[in-house]
Structure formats: C-alpha cells, structure tokens
C-alpha cells in the first residue's frame, strides 16, 4: 500500500508542481504506522465528490476509506432509491477508473471503498458492483457491515469471483467472536475493527481484551477505526457518548503503540464522530486527530 501511495505522491508532485503545493506533510506514516481517514469524518451527508477531495487536501489526508455516497451522486446516481440498483448494475467501470485518477492527481490513495449496497435487501448485481468498483478504484478492500450468515456467504461468493477482499465492520455486536463466521467462510474476508465500538459494547470487552484481540488477529485485520467512546454505552445519535480523543475510555494511544511496536501492516483510520467544539470545524478536528496520533507514536 505504501509503495502505491508514494508513487501517487510523486506523480501528483509532477502534475501539481507548478502550483507550489506542499506535500511534505501529507504522508501520514508515523514511526511505521499508517494513519488514514474515512471520508465519513468530513461530512456524513455530503454528496459532492469535489468537496470530499478538497476536504482531503485541506486536512492533509493522503489515504482514505471512501464512502459510496460521497461519489455516487456526483457520478450520476439518481436520487430515487428505487433506481439505485439499476444504476449500479449498468454504470461503466471506466467511470470509476477516471474517478481514481482525479483523487490520484491530488496525491490521494483510496485504500478501501464502502458503498451502502451489501445488505440482505440489496440485489446480487449491487454486490457485484461493489466488488468491481473496488477493483476499478484500485482499493485493497471493500468494507461492509457485519451481516447475517446467509448474506455473508453471498458476499463471499462475489468477493471470490472478483478476487476482492472484504473488511467487515462491527458496531455494538463487536466481540472476540463476532467475526468468526466471516473469517471461516472465506479467505477473502477480513476484520475492519472499530476500537471505539468494541469498548462501548462493554460486557467482556475491555482495554485488555481489545489489545489481546489485535495481537491474536493482526494478520486478518485490514484496518482499524479510531474513535473514543465510553465503556458500555448504547449509541445515541442525539446525545452521543463519542468523546474528544483522550476523554473517553478507548485506549487509542495504547492501540497505536501496539501497532507501532509490532510493525503491524494494517492502516489505522480516523473516524471523527464526536461533537465539533464551538469555533471549530471538521477539517480542524481531523487535523487534531492526526496530531493526537503523532503524539502517541513519537513518545
């Protein structure tokens, strides 16, 4: 992944050199730990691809997990959800290859794609679309929510057919055994571990078990999601328990140092979900999260 990102960086320097753009601080590899961001962090509801690209530039983000809703509308997906399956089944993958270049030209690598079309109610054509789009974007993984065993088998079929790896994300169902079926079902299946959700799930999930889970399963983890939630808290969108980093119960620093000290190869992804403080904005807060990671990893 890093070699491809370095190539993208060098290529973008050639393309944008006349603009005197400073890429010296863009690569977020800190003491061997890759720090990325999911585009959900910038604006969960935005539907303009150019806004997302600008958000990446403004925050110095060079490696992203790209949300489907952050590009599909810009690519012409109809507003009516009744037409989404037909659109996904018919769009040319050349469009995604062109989109990949637009990000690359700005020094941005797409390491994962997360379209909302892999649930039990989605059609087979939509799941295959997710796989093909992931390949066209040059991403290492398509990411999806943990789902039923039957739907996991369906996703696995299309993942193997298209030679695509799938990273499964858990919310409060996260446990040391939550991914067992997916991992056993296909060699293409991996863990997209949200350390905040793991802690918020409570019960047997503790800081200690989280670190042990990462140690045990590091070879099957495709990426982490970094956020700071409180222990044993039900997610409430209106009064969220997501905290400014360092004020919750999630051991972000300990996790990052574990990744550093063991030279684990997966990326650690910033997912900004706490309330934005007065006078700030999402770009500023993403940069603060990067700085938090830096402080954790240089000491």
Q: What tokens were used for 138?
A: 């040059």
Cα 193 to Cα 182: distance, rounded to the nearest angstrom: 13
Q: In this predicted structure, what is the pLDDT of residue 46?
A: 85
Q: In this predicted structure, what is the pLDDT of residue 19?
A: 37
Element (H, E) at 86: helix 84-90
User: Euclidean distance between the first and final Cα of the chain, in Å?
Assistant: 25
CA distances from 65 to 57, 133, 184, 254 (A): 15, 13, 25, 23
Q: Give me the CATH number covering residue 150.
A: 3.20.20.150
Q: In this predicted structure, what is the pLDDT of residue 12?
A: 44
Strands 63-67 and 109-114, sheet pairing: parallel
Q: In this predicted structure, what is the pLDDT of residue 170?
A: 97
Domain residues for 168? 2-298
pLDDT (tens place) for every residue of the chain, 299 residues total? 555 555 454 444 434 443 333 333 444 799 999 999 999 999 878 889 999 999 999 999 999 999 999 999 999 999 999 999 999 999 999 999 999 999 999 999 999 999 999 999 999 999 999 999 999 999 999 999 999 999 999 999 999 999 999 999 999 999 999 999 999 999 999 999 999 999 999 999 999 999 999 999 999 999 999 999 999 876 565 557 899 999 999 999 999 999 999 999 999 999 999 999 999 999 999 999 999 999 999 98
Tell me the three state secondary structure of residue 192: strand
Q: In this predicted structure, what is the pLDDT of residue 20?
A: 37
Q: Which of 125, 106, 118 is nearest to 49 (CA)?
A: 106
Domain count, the chain: 1
Q: In this predicted structure, what is the pLDDT of residue 15?
A: 42
Q: In this predicted structure, what is the pLDDT of residue 241?
A: 85
Which residues does 252 contact at the CB level (< 8 Å), separation at least 6?
A: 195, 226, 228, 245, 246, 292, 293, 296
Cα 114 to Cα 163: distance, rounded to the nearest angstrom: 17
């Amino acid at each position: 992944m890093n070699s491809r990102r370095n190539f993208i960086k060098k290529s973008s320097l050639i393309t944008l050199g006349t603009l005197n753009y400073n890429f010296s601080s863009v690569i977020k590899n800190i003491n061997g730990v890759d720090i990325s961001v999911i585009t959900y962090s910038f604006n969960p509801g935005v539907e303009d691809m150019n806004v997302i690209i600008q958000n990446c530039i403004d925050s110095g983000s060079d490696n992203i997990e790209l949300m489907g809703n952050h590009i599909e509308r810009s690519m012409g997906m109809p507003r009516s959800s009744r037409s989404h399956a037909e659109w996904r089944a018919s769009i040319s993958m050349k469009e995604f290859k062109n989109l990949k270049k637009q990000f690359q030209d700005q020094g941005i690598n797409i390491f994962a794609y997360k379209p909302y079309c892999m649930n039990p109610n989605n059609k087979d054509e939509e799941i295959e679309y997710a796989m093909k789009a992931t390949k066209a974007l040059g991403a290492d993984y398509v990411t999806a929510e943990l789902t039923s065993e039957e739907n996991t088998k369906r996703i696995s079929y299309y993942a193997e057919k298209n030679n695509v790896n799938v990273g499964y994300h858990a919310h409060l169902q996260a446990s040391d055994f939550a991914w067992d079926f997916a991992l056993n079902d296909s060699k293409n299946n991996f863990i997209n571990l949200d350390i905040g959700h793991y802690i918020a799930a409570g019960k047997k999930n503790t800081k200690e078990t989280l670190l042990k889970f990462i140690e045990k399963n590091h070879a099957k983890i495709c990426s982490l999601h970094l956020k700071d939630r409180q222990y044993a808290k039900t997610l409430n969108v209106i009064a969220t328990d997501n905290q400014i980093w360092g004020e919750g119960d999630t051991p972000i620093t300990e996790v990052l140092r574990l990744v550093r000290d063991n030279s684990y190869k997966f990326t650690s992804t910033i997912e900004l979900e706490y309330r934005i403080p007065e006078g700030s904005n999402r770009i500023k807060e993403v940069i603060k999260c990067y700085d938090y990671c830096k402080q954790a990893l240089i000491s």
